[in-house]
């Protein structure tokens, strides 16, 4: 049986930068060479030991303190602390730890649930909604050891965008009817969202954009976007391009898709958005307000 301490350590580990990973390895007397993933794996193998979990917990707390200190220094040097505040609030705004927040849109407590390992999230979702077996009708035998909810996956899918707010919470694409001739079903998700004056003002700044995103629920690569085959995105009645590949080709040339920027198609007040695709797989779709990060910022934080 995995203890809570070990489970939460896994979540903390994935947030560590190289510095924290090396600190932990030093304390464990293990080699510090290799890529980030190698370091994570090396620590992972030791995780059954509760002492290791405690070292990780300790390192995580120190990292939070040093991040807070960094922000304070930025404030003193007259940098734009106001924007930082917006981001921190946004990070907290979906803090639904222990609550059910599922892309099916219901919060039925009776079903079996799985929890997101991100320690800042810890949201619970229905296993039957988010864990999709590779072949339909196949039983789910193994739950993933590290489960991330969709908002935590999208947060990590592209380091150049920070989530400021979720305008449309993750929702599943639903097929209206399953064709019996073996062709792919038509799936669709529709939503209306309200763009506030405050968010609309933020968008005057070129660093901010509104992004529609889509992920494959049981993607082998957790942290990437993926649009369904023949994706058709409509915003306020206008078609928005999602991918520049043939509708039948899976993923873009570099093995991932990008989000679609829809800033120019929306305005303050109520906006309508819909996504359809002709695909048999399970997708999750959402809209978020994002802030662009510079290369320097990305390097500093990883
Ligand atoms: Zn659900
Ligand atoms: Zn999460």
Q: In this structure, what CATH number is given to the domain that contains residue 52?
A: 1.10.720.30
At residue 83, the pLDDT reads 39
What average pLDDT does range 28-34 have in this prediction? 89
Centre of ligand 1 to C-alpha 206, Å, is: 36
Give kind and range of the element (H or E) at residue 290: strand 283-292
Q: Which two tokens stand for residue 123?
A: 């949201």
User: In 3-state terms, what secondary structure has residue 66?
Assistant: helix
**171 alpha carbon, closest ligand:** 1
Whether 169 and 268 share a structural domain: yes
Q: How far apart are the C-alpha atoms of 16 and 183, rounded to whole Å?
A: 44
CA of 30 to the centre of ligand 1 (A): 41
**What are 276-291's pLDDT values in tens digits?**
999 999 999 999 999 9
- What distance in angstroms lies between residue 129's CA and the mean position of ligand 2's atoms? 15
The residue out of 78, 95, 124 marking a domain boundary is: 78
Distances (CA, A) of 33 to 6, 24, 143: 24, 13, 31
Picking from 78, 111, 143, the residue at the C-terminal end of a domain is 78
Distance from residue 162's CA to the centre of ligand 2 (Å): 15
CA distances for 87 relative to 21, 33, 177, angstroms: 25, 33, 41
**Crossing angle, helix 36-44 and helix 4-13, to 10 degrees?**
170
Q: Output 139 or 100, whichever has higher pLDDT.
A: 100
pLDDT for 132 beyond 90: no
For the record, the structure tokens of 19 come out as 């510095």
pLDDT above 50 for 74: no
User: Bigger pLDDT: 79 or 41?
Assistant: 41
Residue 52 near residue 30, CB atoms below 8 Å? no
Q: Are strands 174-175 and 232-235 parallel, antiparallel or unpaired?
A: unpaired
Give domain status of residue 113, yes or no: no
Predicted confidence (pLDDT) at residue 42 exceeds the cutoff of 60: yes
Ligand nearest to the CA of 149: 2
Asked if the structure places residue 131 within a domain, the reply is: no
Q: Dig out the tokens for 258 from the structure.
A: 């990008």
Average pLDDT in the 27-44 region?
A: 87
Name the least confident of 13-27, 74-88, 215-229.
74-88
Q: Is the same domain home to 162 and 278?
A: yes
Residue 279 placed within a domain:
yes
280 and 160 in a common domain? yes
The number of the ligand nearest the C-alpha atom of 112 reads 1
Inform me whether the pLDDT recorded for 139 exceeds 80. Answer: no
164 in the same domain as 73: no
The counts of H helices and E strands in the chain are 9, 11
* 84 or 61, higher pLDDT: 61
Residue 93 clears pLDDT 60, i.e. is over it: no
72 alpha carbon to ligand 1 midpoint, in Å?
A: 40
Is residue 49 in some structural domain?
yes
22 CA to middle of ligand 2, Å? 25
Residue 267 lies in a domain: yes
Q: How far is the CA of 275 from the centre of ligand 1 (A)?
A: 20
- How many whole angstroms from 75 Cα to the centroid of ligand 2? 29
Between the CA of 127 and the centroid of ligand 1 the distance, in Å, is 7
Domain boundary among 19, 51, 78: 78
228 inside domain? yes
Ramachandran class of 139: left when φ > 0, alpha when ψ lies in -120 to 50, beta otherwise: beta
Task: Please give the pLDDT value at position 1.
Answer: 45
Domain containing 33 equals: 4-78
Residue 292 lies in a domain: yes
Contacts of 232 (CB under 8 A, 6+ apart): 239, 275, 276, 277
**Would you give the DSSP letter of residue 183?**
P
pLDDT band, residue 293 (cuts 50/70/90): confident
Q: Is residue 172 part of a domain?
A: yes
Provide the domain count of the chain: 2
Domain of 218, CATH number, reads 2.60.120.780
* Three-point CA angle 219, 172, 91, nearest 5°: 80
Do 157 and 67 belong to one domain?
no
Q: Is residue 22 over pLDDT 50?
A: yes
Q: By C-alpha distance, which of 105, 206, 221 is closest to 154?
A: 221
Report the separation in Å between the CA atom of 246 and the middle of ligand 2, taken as the mean of its atom positions: 32
- Annotate 225-241 with b (16+ C-beta within 10 A) or e (fewer): bbbbbebbbebeeeebe
Tens of pLDDT, residues 201-228 = 999 999 999 999 999 998 888 899 999 9
More confident residue, 84 or 244: 244
pLDDT greater than 80 at residue 136:
no
């Amino acid at each position: 049986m995995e203890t809570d301490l070990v489970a939460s350590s896994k979540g903390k580990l994935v947030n560590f930068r190289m510095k924290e990973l090396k600190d932990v390895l030093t304390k464990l007397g293990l080699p510090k060479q290799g890529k980030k993933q190698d370091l994570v794996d090396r620590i992972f193998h030791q995780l059954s030991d509760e002492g290791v979990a405690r070292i990780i917990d300790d390192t995580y707390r120190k990292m939070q303190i040093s991040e807070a200190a960094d922000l304070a220094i930025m404030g003193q040097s007259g940098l734009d602390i106001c924007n930082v505040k917006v981001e921190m609030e946004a990070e907290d705004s979906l803090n639904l730890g222990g609550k059910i927040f599922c892309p099916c849109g219901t919060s039925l407590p009776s079903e079996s649930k799985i929890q997101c390992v991100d320690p800042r999230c810890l949201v619970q979702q229905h296993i039957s909604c988010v864990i999709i077996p590779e072949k339909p009708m196949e039983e789910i035998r193994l739950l993933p050891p590290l489960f991330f909810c969709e908002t935590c996956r999208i947060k990590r899918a592209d380091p150049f965008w920070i989530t400021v707010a979720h305008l449309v919470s993750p929702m599943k694409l639903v097929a209206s009817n399953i064709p019996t001739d073996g062709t792919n079903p038509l799936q669709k998700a529709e939503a209306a969202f309200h763009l506030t004056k405050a968010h609309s003002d933020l968008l005057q700044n070129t660093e901010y954009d509104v992004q529609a995103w889509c992920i494959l629920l049981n993607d082998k690569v957790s942290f990437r976007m993926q649009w369904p085959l023949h994706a058709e995105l409509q915003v306020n009645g206008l078609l928005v391009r999602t991918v520049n590949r043939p509708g039948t080709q899976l993923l873009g040339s570099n093995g991932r898709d990008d989000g679609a920027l829809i800033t120019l198609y929306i305005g303050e007040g109520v906006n309508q958005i819909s996504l359809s695709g002709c695909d048999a797989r399970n997708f999750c779709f959402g809209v978020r307000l994002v802030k662009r990060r510079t290369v320097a910022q990305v390097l500093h934080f990883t």
